[in-house]
Structure 1
Amino acid sequence: MGTLYLVPTPIGNLEDITFRSIRILKEVDLILAEDTRNSGKLLQHYEINQPMHAYHMHNEHKVVDKFVQRLKNGESMALISDAGTPGISDPGFLLTRACLESGIRVECLPGATAMIPALVNSGLPSERFVFEGFLPVKKGRQTRLLALKEESRTMIFYESPHKLLRTLEDLITSLGNDRPASVSRELTKIYEETVRGSLSEILEYYKENPVKGEFVIVVGGKK
């Protein structure tokens, strides 16, 4: 059988990729990419010419069996997302589970992910934390926020720019104005920024400043 490699890719700065990741991407028979156009820029930068196939949330249920069969037949594949580690708020779990159930070897390489730099840079306790990813947009949102009201560990959320203000407002409603927090955006990129303070202070900041880029929200747990 072949091997499925889960290969982290840079979250911004193209230099944030390991030598091993580049070698694996050059050696596999096929690269599964969340967005082939976006990943093509990275592969071109490192002169990686392996064939690519789209693998994303809209087609993964349809194509997973086909790729499992190809792995069974001896092909090796690398799964990459647009940025960061596959399976962390990105496609990856479904294929990984299917491979393991079929006895196919799976290796996850270490590498870039947005939540760890944001957590360490926040100044909030990092010895114990919980990663919540993206909050539900509608159904289950209030239930999730209510459950987190008593959470004592530091909490990490991902958020898109057009939902940032609403999420900060919802966190204030559930956790209180004064809960310490940190918001990082565009990590490793030219306009990287981290804003620290209470949830209410951060909300006021982003009401007065442009909300652009991808965001990681880190919130202190209940004392």
Structure 2
Amino acid sequence: MIMRIKKNNEMKKKLAVLLSGIMASFVLSGCGNAPAKDSTLTLYNDLIQKVISGEEMFSDEGMGYTFDEAEDPGYALYDIDKDGADELFITARMGDEGHTYVVYDIKGGVVTREMALNGYLPESGYWTYFFDYFIEGYSYIRGQGFVRQWELDYPWVDGIDTTIINYEGQDPRTISDDELKTLLKGHVTEPAELNWNPIKKDTNILQTK
């Protein structure tokens, strides 16, 4: 009987050690995402502080603006590819229809400036950049960022305003107005669920998230 009790006690100790190890592993793995998210917000907040100080400039249709020159500066956190990590959007004219915004993401632990954009196509999921004489369409690919899929140009050919599309890896070709309408169907400035927040002198996203 004494021998059996001793063995039972030894088994209980071993079980207790095993369970404590499992619980420790569970706690560490359960908290594993939090530091990564906090780190992401810290990096984005550092960038916003650079924007406020004027070290990082706004970009809007080929123009550069400091924070003091921006009309209605704002930022948004939005998970483009739904991988659980937000990308950072920054604009100099938050309230203007058709405003331009720059998207940043994190690569190798560094905040990376991706693209200046001013449009989104809900049906295709393409992001667009409109300028006076061209339109570009981009897809966002995890790990790569924005990859251009096509470009629309509007050259004058024999006195006629023509629309030419150039798909990546293909020869340019002229498209009709109907094709153009289909391509740009449903175009909006950004996804409806993207929410802008004002950038002020005291903005700190670590205190607002």
TM-score bracket for the superposition, by shorter chain length: under 0.3
- Asked which structure has the greater CA Rg, the reply is 2
Q: Which has the higher helix share?
A: 1
Q: Which has the higher strand share?
A: 2
Compute the TM-score of the two structures, normalised by the length of structure 2.
0.23
Higher relative contact order (CA 8 A, sep 6+): 1
